[in-house]
A = this chain, B = another copy of it.
Amino acid sequence: MTDEKESRERILDAAHTIFLRRGTASARTQEIADEAGVNKALLHYYFGSKEALAEEIFRRAIGDFFPRFFAILGSGLSLDEKVPLVVETYLDFLSSRPYLPGYVVSEMHVHPDRIRAVFASRGPAPLDVLTRQIEERVAAGTMRHIAVEQFVMNLVSLIVYPFVVRPAMEIVLQVDGDRFDAFISERRRTLPGFVLNALRP
Contacts and interface: CB of A to CB of B under 8 A. Distances in A.
A150 B105 CA distance: 23
A194 B198 contact: yes
A154 B162 CA distance: 9
A173 B110 contact: no
Interface in A95-134: 99, 102-103, 105-106, 108-110, 112, 115-116, 119, 124-125
A199 B193 CA distance: 9
Copies in the complex: 2
A45 interface: no
27 contacts: A25-B25, A25-B26, A26-B110, A66-B172, A99-B109, A102-B106, A102-B109, A106-B106, A106-B109, A115-B168, A115-B171, A124-B171, A124-B174, A125-B173, A144-B197, A146-B190, A150-B183, A153-B161, A153-B169, A153-B173, A154-B158, A154-B194, A157-B157, A157-B160, A160-B161, A164-B164, A195-B198
